[in-house]
Copies of this chain bind each other. A is one copy, B any other.
Amino acid sequence: MNPTNSMWITNAWYIAAWAKDVTGGEIFARTILDQPIIFYRTADGSVTALEDRCCHRHAPLSKGRLEGDEVRCMYHGFKFASDGRCTHVPGEDRVPKKYGVRRYPVIEKQNLIWIWMGEDRLADPDLIVDWPFLDDPAWPYKGGYLHYQASYRLGVDNFLDFSHLPYVHEKTLGTSAYADSRPQLEPTDFGIRIVNTAFDEPLAPIFRPFASFPGNIDRWSNYDFHIRGNVLLGDFGSAPVGEGGHLGERKNAMQFRHLSCMTPETETTSHYHFAQTRNFGLDDEALDDQVLAATVAAFLEDQDIIEAQQRIISLDPDRPMLPAGIDKALLHIRRETDRIIEMEQGARAEAAE
């Protein structure tokens, strides 16, 4: 097993792709947790995920050919079923059992393809977060993707940190009130819940094209971060001052639901999937594009500073950082992540004995 597996949690459902990335009749290839993987749809429309490495001579199956529900390696013609079993070896009458490629548990749910990178027996579909906003016509959106030249850890740090908003997103998401805000943190069994509210302040610049309020607004941000899978689920928005938007009274509110997920590709690169759904302009497709574009614009600001941060860290990876009070959420999650990684390593070491 690749030793770099120790850098991340493997027993987790990770977002591998948007459902639309895997179209019928074509192979979609992506590296996840240092493992090269192919994705394709079988005749029943369901998604298969197989190791992108023929067991025979390690040619990539992503250069292969789909034949019905099977995939054929186009180097020497070995064929594999969607469960990874080898079904044909040219020149052999029957296929010895030793042949085959790893098949990864994979589930399509709410427009996303989730993959399980750890032990098969633990791959319980109920562990996938349920987030109905991704396939509810009342919450339109277009799914986003960015490829990061940085560790998923730096991306996750960023998810858990409101204090960067007024600096990184000065002209987009940030309002100066964020700088000193102390969100409420509540450790949970899945990770952490973060609640941030602000009262009687101007609407953030990024939202101004989408809503006009008579004056200042109250805003709320309720975020749940799930350690396994690095998934952030958010409920945030703005409402006229005093209407109780943060308490759930949302009559005149501009509401968003947000998903962000950082899936490790390699030690220093990541896949970032995100969605910004909304409760207004339901049938306005142009608005889907505008909200996506505004979100991407803000997230490119994150990517720029995070990739720069990665470059500085790579110069001297062992130098300690100096945490501050604003880091409570990320420190909690880093500790918990490390604890789970250590547990997994311990279990693997025990199993290897």
Instruction: List the interface of chain A (C-beta within 8 A of B).
Output: 2, 34, 36, 52-53, 55-60, 62-63, 72-78, 89-92, 98-99, 157, 161, 163-164, 166-168, 170, 179-182, 304-305, 308-309, 311-313, 315-316, 319, 321-327
User: Which of B2, B74, B164, B311 has a CB less than 8 Å from the CB of A168?
Assistant: B74
Contact status A91-B182, CB under 8 Å:
yes
Residues of B within 8 A of A324 (CB): 56, 76, 78, 89, 91-92, 99
B312 touching A59 by the CB < 8 A rule?
A: yes
A309 touches B57 (CB 8 A): yes
**Smallest distance from the beta carbon of A198 to chain B beta carbons, Å?**
14
Q: Evaluate contact between B312 and A76: CB separation under 8 angstroms.
A: no
Chain B residues with CB under 8 A of A305:
59, 63, 74-75
- Of the candidates B60, B98, B166, which one forms a contact with A308 in the assembled complex, judged by CB atoms under 8 Å apart? B60
Chain B residues whose CB sits within 8 angstroms of the CB of A91 once the complex forms: 163, 179-182, 324-326
Interface of A is mostly: loop
Query: Which of B2, B60, B308, B326 is close to A90, meaning CB atoms less than 8 Å apart?
Result: B326
CB-CB under 8 A for A179 and B77, given A57-B157, A99-B322, A324-B56 = yes
- Max chain B CB contacts within 10 Å: which of A58, A89, A182? A58
B-side contacts of A161, CB under 8 Å: 76
User: For the complex, what is the distance from the CA of A161 to the CA of B59, rounded to whole Å?
Assistant: 14
Smallest CB-CB A-B distances: 4 pairs:
A90-B179, A59-B309, A74-B167, A91-B326
Contacts of A60 in B (CB 8 A): 308-309, 311-312
Write 5 A-B pairs (CB below 8 A) sorted by A numbering.
A56-B322, A63-B305, A74-B305, A75-B167, A77-B163
Residues of chain B within 8 A (CB-CB) of A163 are 76-77, 90-91
Q: Which residue in chain B gives the minimum CB-CB distance to A64?
A: B167
A313 to B58, CA, bound (A): 6
Cα distance A89–B323 in the bound complex, in angstroms: 11
Chain B residues positioned under 8 Å from A75 (CB to CB): 164, 167-168, 305, 309
> For residue A311, which residues in chain B have a CB less than 8 angstroms away from its CB?
60
CA–CA, A157 and B57, complex, Å: 10
Q: How far is the CB of A159 from chain B (nearest CB, A)?
A: 14
A76-B168 Cα distance, complex, nearest whole Å:
8
CB distance from A85 to the nearest CB of B (A): 13
Residues of chain B contacted by A167 (CB below 8 angstroms)? 72-77
Complex interface: chain B residues within 8 A of A180 (CB): 90-91
Residues of B within 8 A of A315 (CB): 2, 34, 36
Of A62, A163, A308, A312, the most chain B CB neighbours within 10 A belong to: A312
Taking each of A163, A182, A322, which has the highest tally of chain B beta carbons within 10 Å of its own beta carbon? A322
CB distance from A20 to the nearest CB of B (A): 26
CA distance A78 to B99 in the complex (A): 56
